[in-house]
Amino acid sequence: MARAQADDEELFTFQSANSNLVFKTISLALQSTPLHCDVSTGNYRPFVPKPFRTTIINMIHPLAHSGAKATTNGVKQRFILTSLRKDCTEFCKHCILPKSPKSVVTLNPQSMIFHYLPQDLVIFIWML
Ligand SMILES: [Zn+2]
Protein backbone atom coordinates (compact mmCIF):
# COMPACT_ATOMS: atom_id res chain seq x y z
CA MET A 1 0.00 0.00 0.00
CA ALA A 2 2.89 2.37 0.74
CA ARG A 3 4.26 1.87 -2.78
CA ALA A 4 0.82 2.56 -4.26
CA GLN A 5 0.65 5.77 -2.21
CA ALA A 6 3.86 6.98 -3.82
CA ASP A 7 2.18 7.07 -7.24
CA ASP A 8 -1.22 8.28 -6.09
CA GLU A 9 -2.12 11.77 -7.29
CA GLU A 10 -5.06 11.98 -4.87
CA LEU A 11 -2.66 11.76 -1.94
CA PHE A 12 -0.73 14.76 -3.23
CA THR A 13 -4.02 16.61 -3.74
CA PHE A 14 -4.98 15.84 -0.14
CA GLN A 15 -1.61 16.95 1.17
CA SER A 16 -1.65 20.22 -0.73
CA ALA A 17 -5.34 20.99 -0.11
CA ASN A 18 -6.36 23.43 2.58
CA SER A 19 -7.90 20.84 4.89
CA ASN A 20 -7.69 19.84 8.53
CA LEU A 21 -5.69 16.73 7.67
CA VAL A 22 -2.12 16.56 8.93
CA PHE A 23 0.02 14.07 7.08
CA LYS A 24 3.09 12.34 8.46
CA THR A 25 5.00 9.38 7.18
CA ILE A 26 5.86 6.35 9.22
CA SER A 27 8.43 3.73 8.37
CA LEU A 28 7.44 0.14 8.87
CA ALA A 29 9.79 -2.75 9.43
CA LEU A 30 10.84 -4.50 6.22
CA GLN A 31 9.32 -1.71 4.09
CA SER A 32 11.58 0.76 2.32
CA THR A 33 8.69 3.01 1.30
CA PRO A 34 7.16 5.07 4.13
CA LEU A 35 3.42 4.99 4.73
CA HIS A 36 1.57 8.35 4.56
CA CYS A 37 -0.88 8.77 7.43
CA ASP A 38 -3.16 11.53 8.69
CA VAL A 39 -2.54 12.29 12.37
CA SER A 40 -5.10 15.08 12.85
CA THR A 41 -7.30 12.90 15.07
CA GLY A 42 -4.46 11.74 17.30
CA ASN A 43 -4.42 8.36 15.59
CA TYR A 44 -2.42 7.29 12.58
CA ARG A 45 -4.88 6.89 9.70
CA PRO A 46 -3.18 5.65 6.52
CA PHE A 47 -4.25 7.15 3.21
CA VAL A 48 -5.74 4.35 1.11
CA PRO A 49 -5.01 4.47 -2.64
CA LYS A 50 -7.82 3.49 -4.99
CA PRO A 51 -6.66 -0.11 -5.63
CA PHE A 52 -6.94 -0.86 -1.88
CA ARG A 53 -10.29 0.79 -1.10
CA THR A 54 -12.45 -2.29 -1.56
CA THR A 55 -9.98 -4.36 0.46
CA ILE A 56 -10.21 -1.92 3.36
CA ILE A 57 -14.02 -1.71 3.27
CA ASN A 58 -14.17 -5.48 2.96
CA MET A 59 -11.97 -5.74 6.04
CA ILE A 60 -14.03 -3.34 8.21
CA HIS A 61 -17.58 -4.17 7.11
CA PRO A 62 -17.64 -7.83 8.27
CA LEU A 63 -16.52 -6.86 11.78
CA ALA A 64 -20.13 -5.94 12.59
CA HIS A 65 -21.82 -6.48 9.22
CA SER A 66 -23.24 -3.00 9.72
CA GLY A 67 -24.97 -0.63 7.32
CA ALA A 68 -23.37 1.98 5.10
CA LYS A 69 -23.24 4.74 7.72
CA ALA A 70 -21.63 2.58 10.41
CA THR A 71 -19.24 1.05 7.89
CA THR A 72 -18.28 4.54 6.70
CA ASN A 73 -17.62 5.64 10.27
CA GLY A 74 -15.64 2.49 11.02
CA VAL A 75 -13.40 3.04 8.01
CA LYS A 76 -13.09 6.78 8.65
CA GLN A 77 -11.84 6.18 12.18
CA ARG A 78 -8.94 4.14 10.86
CA PHE A 79 -8.19 5.26 7.29
CA ILE A 80 -8.34 8.18 4.85
CA LEU A 81 -10.19 7.40 1.62
CA THR A 82 -11.68 9.53 -1.10
CA SER A 83 -15.29 8.76 -2.05
CA LEU A 84 -15.63 6.88 1.23
CA ARG A 85 -19.38 7.30 1.74
CA LYS A 86 -20.20 6.39 -1.85
CA ASP A 87 -17.91 3.35 -1.83
CA CYS A 88 -19.30 2.10 1.51
CA THR A 89 -22.88 2.60 0.35
CA GLU A 90 -22.21 0.62 -2.82
CA PHE A 91 -20.36 -2.07 -0.91
CA CYS A 92 -23.17 -2.51 1.64
CA LYS A 93 -25.80 -2.47 -1.11
CA HIS A 94 -24.10 -5.41 -2.78
CA CYS A 95 -23.11 -7.29 0.38
CA ILE A 96 -24.23 -10.88 0.03
CA LEU A 97 -23.74 -11.88 3.65
CA PRO A 98 -26.93 -12.60 5.60
CA LYS A 99 -28.20 -9.65 7.65
CA SER A 100 -28.88 -11.62 10.84
CA PRO A 101 -26.89 -10.45 13.90
CA LYS A 102 -26.17 -14.12 14.53
CA SER A 103 -24.09 -14.18 11.38
CA VAL A 104 -21.52 -11.61 12.52
CA VAL A 105 -18.08 -12.64 11.30
CA THR A 106 -15.47 -12.76 14.01
CA LEU A 107 -11.93 -12.03 12.92
CA ASN A 108 -8.96 -13.60 14.54
CA PRO A 109 -5.30 -13.21 13.63
CA GLN A 110 -5.26 -16.59 11.94
CA SER A 111 -8.24 -15.88 9.71
CA MET A 112 -7.76 -15.95 5.96
CA ILE A 113 -8.68 -12.29 5.47
CA PHE A 114 -5.23 -11.22 6.57
CA HIS A 115 -3.67 -13.32 3.87
CA TYR A 116 -5.29 -11.10 1.22
CA LEU A 117 -3.91 -7.88 2.65
CA PRO A 118 -0.66 -6.16 1.72
CA GLN A 119 2.08 -6.74 4.27
CA ASP A 120 2.37 -3.12 5.44
CA LEU A 121 -1.35 -3.03 6.19
CA VAL A 122 -1.17 -6.16 8.32
CA ILE A 123 1.70 -4.63 10.27
CA PHE A 124 -0.33 -1.46 10.76
CA ILE A 125 -3.34 -3.37 12.04
CA TRP A 126 -1.22 -5.02 14.68
CA MET A 127 -0.01 -1.57 15.76
CA LEU A 128 -3.59 -0.35 16.48
ZN1 LIG B 1 -22.86 -6.91 4.97
Question: Rounded to an integer, what distance in angstroms lies between the CA atom of residue 87 and that of residue 93?
Answer: 10
Report how far ligand 1's centroid is from the alpha carbon of 77 (Å): 19
Distance 62 CA to ligand 1 centre (A): 6
The domain that holds 50 is classified in CATH as: 1.10.340.70
Is there a contact between 37 and 45 (Cβ–Cβ < 8 Å)? Answer: yes
Whether this prediction's pTM lies above 0.85 is answered by no
| Distance from Cα 85 to the centre of ligand 1, integer Å | 15
pLDDT tens, 70-113?
A: 999 999 999 999 899 999 999 999 988 766 555 455 555 554 44
CA of 93 to the centre of ligand 1 (A): 8
Q: How many domains does the chain have?
A: 1
Q: Are 71 and 61 in contact (CB under 8 A)?
A: yes
Domain residues for the domain of 24 are 1-127
